[in-house]
Structure 1
Amino acid sequence: MAHYRLSDDQYGSPAEREDIYDAERVMTAAVEAAGVGEVDGSEFGGGEAVLYAYGADVGALFKVMEPTLRGLPFSPAHVVLRRGSRESESRVEL
């Protein structure tokens, strides 16, 4: 899950939402081409955007998505990498 802080306390600006949707399309194509999982959509609310993706090898999945995730202009931002359960998650600052 990639978490991004938006410019307001609700759903962000139309331009911010479009940036997230564009990134989602780019990552969907890259993840499918690499065969490492799937991008499962995004969610907006509470001043945050969250992108969801799943795959058997979280490291390979993140490697494919990382350039696009780091290219988004929102800050602060972080990614939660979960291997199985919540107890086995790690956090990457973007």
Structure 2
Amino acid sequence: MIARFHLGGGLGESDQWALVFEAERTIAAAVEAAGVGEVDGNEFGGGEVVIFAYRPDAKTLYRVMEPGLRALPFRLARVVLRHGNLPMMS
């Protein structure tokens, strides 16, 4: 699952980063507690932040993550759900 948020220009501001990091910790804890996948991090750039998470059942993963994603004060641009097992990168 990939969630994209608009931040404005460039890499965003430090207060935006702090909000994303806190939300990511909260979301990761919820995902771990529910046993539905793994939050794999984020990427800032191009005026947006992208949060990555993995699990074969993308809909279940999104349901657990949705409250935390919606709690962020940024405009949610897009969520992409990818279904099935993806090969692990090494």
Q: Shorter-normalised TM-score: what interval?
A: 0.7 to 0.9
Structure 1: 5+ residue stretches without partners: 86-94
If asked which structure has higher relative contact order (CA below 8 Å, sep 6+), I would say: 2
Equivalent position of 1:2 in the other structure: 3
Q: Which runs of 5+ in 2 are unaligned?
A: 86-90
Aligned length: 84
TM-score normalised per structure 2:
0.87
Amino acid at match of 1:30: A
1:70 corresponding residue in structure 2: 70
Identical positions, percent:
54
State yes or no: 1:46 paired with 2:46.
yes
Measure the CA separation in 2 of the matches of 1:83 and 1:11.
29
AA aligned to 1:34 is: A
The answer to whether residue 88 in structure 2 is matched with residue 82 in structure 1 is: no
Amino acid at match of 1:57: D
CA RMSD, 1 decimal: 1.4
